Amino acid sequence: MMKIYRGTMLCLCFLFSSVFAETQPYENPFISSTEVSAFVISATTGFTVPATSNSLVQSMQTTQLYSQVSNKGVNFNIPNQRNEYLKLMETGNIKGKAVSIEKIGDAGARQYAHRMNFEPLFQGKPGQGKGFDQVYRSGKQIVVVEAKGGGSPLKQYYGYTQGTGKYSFEVAKRTLSSPTATQTEKQAAKEVIKAYKNGRLVVQVARTKHVDGTPKGTTIETIYGKLALPSTFKIAHQAGIKAGLAGAGIIGVFELLSQLSSKQQIDWKRVGNITALGGISGYAGTFTGTLVQHSLVNNQSMLLSKLSTRASAPLGGFSGGMMVSAVFSYGAYFLGYSDLKTANRNMIAGGIGAAAGTLASATAFGLVAAFGTAGTGTAIASLSGAAATNATLAVIGGGTLAAGGGGAAAGATILTGGAALVVIGIGAGIMYMYHLGDESTERERVQHLLASVQSHLNKPL
């Protein structure tokens, strides 16, 4: 989506650069290139911040889940083995009962991995004995999960205890040389070996308790390594980097186009300074806005939780817009490209514009998500995660690609492009009102001066 957004903003750069074609370098009677640059970079931040919303919520949910499952345990929605278990008890089938318990452990481990958003690399069958139970990828880490049901003990194979790093490494080596191992198993084994050597291997034991085959809480114990949980600061930093790069590219192109349009010699120093300033302000605004958004989403107050969650994207966009406008506007002032009054006004106009654009985008997206219908005929409100997001964007884009519409990509372009115009339009409107006010003040000053001169001329000598 970031590529689509950058393309949309670059088109806007070409559009707005034509405003400066017949004017003196870097000035315009309506709005200056520095002012438009501040609004464009505010728009970039205003839409990068809400885009981190899903990541922030997912990060919080993952952290909370891991805390719960590592302490008291979590009751996952897994199949009940009670009837099967009781029948096996009546017949005295000890081996069958053990397999039934292993099914419970396997299901609990899979639900844990799914809720943690791990990427499955290999998932074995319950009761297979030696070998990997489950192998996942989590970011740059490889997570081996040993699934246990009830009080099943950790066994020893190949001279090592299940759940240890050395056991996982040994199993991986044997899997690679096994003639019966599937390609999926062997690929997972390669990842385990690589992660073990690079210090990125994590081995966990997922134990699911039961009462006569009825599953109870699943707990996790990390035996080897340390699982890296999603970090709010990391999400904010990554979003800031994206916005900074996008801002630098967009503002750099816009500045160059505006100078070319003015038919003056290109000031490459200014182009470089403005490009760097766009990158720095984009990073600072997005980083700040994302943290503000997180603090609102993380509000634990029962009274304010729903309000703060709904307001998090607009307020995060507003905060980011204010920050990016402040950094860009005052940076331009210190570099000598604008005066202090213009810098103050840019900060206010850019922040308000970013908030309005973000609110417009969030409102349109929210209405479609609440009342729209996916291409499959399913109500979007009944979907969740990426499926809900893609379905909503597809509706905004005129339908799915299969139905002849523009799909999610077109929806993202329409949403971000339209909202960017709101940001720039409102920002430019506010600055224009400032200019009208300045003209009115100047007229009053001139009229007062003329009246004063006329009164002195009317005095007798």
For 168-183, give the DSSP string: HHHHHHHHHH-SS--H
Give the mean model confidence (pLDDT) for residues 384-396: 72
pLDDT, position 44:
73
Structure-block tokens of residue 142: 């490889």
Give the mean model confidence (pLDDT) for residues 434-444: 79
Q: Can you list the pairs that 222-226 forms with residues at least 24 positions away whose Cβ atoms lie under 8 Å? A: 222/70, 223/146, 223/163, 223/164, 223/165, 224/163, 224/164, 224/165, 224/168, 225/141, 225/165, 225/199, 225/200, 225/201, 226/202
pLDDT over 90 for what percent of the chain? 21
pLDDT, position 352:
77
| Secondary-structure breakdown of the chain: helix, strand, coil percentages, each rounded to the nearest 5 | 65, 10, 25
d(C-alpha 337, C-alpha 38), whole Å: 12
pLDDT, position 172:
94
Model confidence at 243: pLDDT above 90: no
Q: How confident is the model at residue 28 (pLDDT cuts 50, 70, 90)?
A: very low
Q: Looking at mean pLDDT, say which of 148-157, 271-280, 308-317, 446-455 comes out highest.
A: 271-280
* Mean pLDDT (the chain, rounded): 79
Domain boundaries, the chain: 2-59+231-458, 81-212
Q: How confident is the model at residue 174 (pLDDT cuts 50, 70, 90)?
A: very high
d(C-alpha 329, C-alpha 339), whole Å: 9
pLDDT digits (tens, 9 = 90+) for 298-355: 764 444 444 445 567 667 777 777 788 788 888 888 988 888 887 888 778 777 777 6
pLDDT, position 304:
43
Give the mean model confidence (pLDDT) for residues 190-218: 92
Model confidence at 8: pLDDT above 50: no
Q: How confident is the model at residue 259 (pLDDT cuts 50, 70, 90)?
A: confident
CB 227 within 8 A of CB 204: yes
pLDDT, position 386:
62
Model confidence at 427: pLDDT above 80: no
pLDDT, position 100:
83
d(C-alpha 243, C-alpha 106), whole Å: 42
Predicted TM-score (pTM) of this structure: 0.68
